[in-house]
Structure 1
Amino acid sequence: MMYPHQDDDDTKYAREVRKWAMKIPVGLGLCPWAGTATKRGLLRITTCDGDTPTAVSHVLEHEIKLLIDNCGGTTPPPLSTTLLVCPHVTTWVEFQPFDDFLQSIGKNNNKCMLPSGMTDLVTLVAFHPKFLRWHALPDDIGIGSTVQSHWGTFGKKSVQTATATIIETNNIAFGLRKVKVRFHNVDLFGSGVDNRNQEQFVPTDWIHASNEGCAPLPLSTRTQLPDNIMHQSPYPTIHVIVNQDLASLCIRDVSRVKRLNAQRMTKLGWEGLERILGKGDDMATEEQEAVHN
């Protein structure tokens, strides 16, 4: 069964997403893959006409195959990427169901139904009008505060929390998304983490209040970070990046991208980003250039 989709720029949805991409991810230099692909004429934007996650799954499979086939043999391909716009899926009006769909891909509870192994070839990034993942700490929690925090072991979040003190809140590499904490009880780091390493950078949503076993900090007390705007596209959109392209970047390159993104978001803030989104193309370009300087 064929699931309908329309190729690059054939729809108003694709045009709106392209305009947004030129202002935010590409225009502000936040996404090197989309930026390089745009310069080379290789940024593909396609619209899925289906109104169910199943329909999106089939179009997504088609788009991944196109990208992989474009790689061709063992020669490193030019950077290429696809934005799959999904404006008609009614269950994705809110961000969480859309994010759950993408997060399930490659797991046992895969809701996407992609062929086994295909998800190992690409990285999928979520864009959504209501994208919301990053919050600042509450005003009454900062450097010197004693909190409960999860810790990371080989990139995975611990189940438990441990008592820790916040020692840094605005690192140049992470902005306000992560804080540096010093754990009080290093004996908790038993499974793979060096016991001498008592300090870690952790996402702010890993931080709980000081009472052990308490719930995460309520979102009502926390400010939404402007970093969220980087992912707030006009319609639910899946960014498909070939992992071979990601592998071509060294760790230093990736760290540099993260550091610059954090600096630009801090410099612009909500007001600066909203000005760019609200201005015409020429005025937006002037503000984008100011951020790069």
Structure 2
Amino acid sequence: MGTTKQHVASELRQEAQQLVQAKSWSTSLVVCAEVAEWQDFPTFDRWVSNSLQDLEELVGLVVFHPRFARWPSLPAEMVEGSRVMAFYQECDGRRSRRALPATVESLDETRVGTRRVGVRFLDDGVVQWVPIEWLKDLDPAPKVDNVLHQAPHPTVHLIRRADLDAVKASYDDVAKLLARNASYLRSLEDLEDLGALRSKKGTPWDVDMAGWWMMTIINNNG
């Protein structure tokens, strides 16, 4: 993989084109270990989100990183009925530019998902299930399920869009699966099983444990 952002972008676009035309596989992992500034997770995450939008119709892009920490947890004191300031989803799916007053409508992970919260906006009564990070002025700890997207090096997982569109699972099915994974991870959070995944230097991933971790999740969830 290239050593500059421009080289990586070019190679990812080539990989996406080959993937769309391939008959024997539908996903591809591209390791991006040579761009120094991508050792910072937010920098890498923003680059993938903002620089490869032209690939959205061809492939889905899933980010992995040694310090992946995109999803925050909700404060322990937050309950249904709590007042919050939340960004809302525009008609085009993008996040609004400003946050509005809202109340928490649902915290049920099997209903809204493990990384979302149901809110009712006070100005018009509209209910949306928004990402937790769209709640303003929160300073929560990262959710434990960020571990699922931690890997030895910055990596982009390309998944053929046609295959994603063909999946018949409903939003409820996906929400329940994510909730089950999150519950399992929380059960490991205070155990040596989860601690074993972290190296002595504090890097979230011990390379030798990566395969074991993924097999643990797969086996636990059938």
Aligning the two structures, in what range does the TM-score lie when normalised by the shorter sequence? 0.7 to 0.9
1:166 aligns with 2:104: yes
Measured against aligned partners, the alpha-carbon deviations of 1:128-175 in whole angstroms (never above 9, x if no partner) come to 111111111223332221122222233222223222211322321444
1:132 aligns with 2:78: no
Q: Which amino acid aligns with 1:274?
A: L
Which of 156, 163, 174 in structure 2 is aligned with 1:245? 163
- Number of equivalences: 209
Write out aligned runs for 1:244-283 (5 A). Answer: 244-250=162-168, 252=170, 255-269=172-186, 270-271=189-190, 274=194, 277=197
TM-score (norm. length: structure 2): 0.79
Query: Is contact 1:175-1:266 (8 Å) kept?
Result: no
TM-score (norm. length: structure 1): 0.62
Distance 1:92 1:119, change over 3 A: same
Q: Which amino acid aligns with 1:103?
A: S
Q: Which amino acid aligns with 1:86?
A: C
Query: Is contact 2:88-2:99 (8 Å) kept?
Result: yes
Post-superposition shift, 1:54? 1.7
Cα distance in 2 between the residues matched to 1:265 and 1:125: 18
Cα distance in 2 between the residues matched to 1:147 and 1:135: 15
Cα distance in 1 between the residues matched to 2:210 and 2:40: 28
Query: Is contact 1:86-1:237 (8 Å) kept?
Result: yes
Query: Is contact 1:105-1:119 (8 Å) kept?
Result: no
Partner of 1:32: none
Distance 1:290 1:66, change over 3 A: closer
Query: Is contact 2:80-2:106 (8 Å) kept?
Result: yes
Equivalent position SS for 1:84: strand
Distance 1:84 1:260, change over 3 A: same
Partner of 1:207: 135
Task: Determine which structure has more spread, i.e. the larger CA radius of gyration.
Answer: 1
Distance 1:173 1:277, change over 3 A: farther
Q: Structure 1, unaligned stretches of length 5 or more?
A: 1-47, 72-77, 108-116, 187-196, 209-215
Partner of 2:60: 123
Q: Structure 2, unaligned stretches of length 5 or more?
A: 199-207
Post-superposition shift, 1:266? 1.9
1:81 aligns with 2:27: yes
RMSD: 2.9
Distance 1:176 1:223, change over 3 A: farther
Query: Is contact 1:268-1:291 (8 Å) kept?
Result: no
Distance 1:257 1:69, change over 3 A: same
Query: Is contact 2:102-2:120 (8 Å) kept?
Result: yes
Equivalent position SS for 2:110: coil
Which of 127, 143, 147 in structure 1 is aligned with 2:80? 143
Partner of 1:57: 9
Post-superposition shift, 1:201? 1.4
Query: Is contact 1:276-1:284 (8 Å) kept?
Result: no
1:292 aligns with 2:221: yes
Q: Which amino acid aligns with 1:267?
A: Y
Cα distance in 2 between the residues matched to 1:89 and 1:135: 26
Post-superposition shift, 1:285? 8.2
Which of 15, 18, 21 in structure 2 is aligned with 1:66? 18
Q: Which amino acid aligns with 2:135?
A: I
Cα distance in 1 between the residues matched to 2:84 and 2:221: 36
Cα distance in 2 between the residues matched to 1:122 and 1:205: 24
Distance 1:146 1:257, change over 3 A: closer
Cα distance in 2 between the residues matched to 1:271 and 1:291: 18
Measured against aligned partners, the alpha-carbon deviations of 1:85-142 in whole angstroms (never above 9, x if no partner) come to 11111011101111121112345xxxxxxxxx65531121111111111111223332
Post-superposition shift, 1:260? 0.4
Cα distance in 2 between the residues matched to 1:126 and 1:172: 24
Partner of 2:89: 152
Partner of 2:150: 232
Cα distance in 2 between the residues matched to 1:63 and 1:286: 26
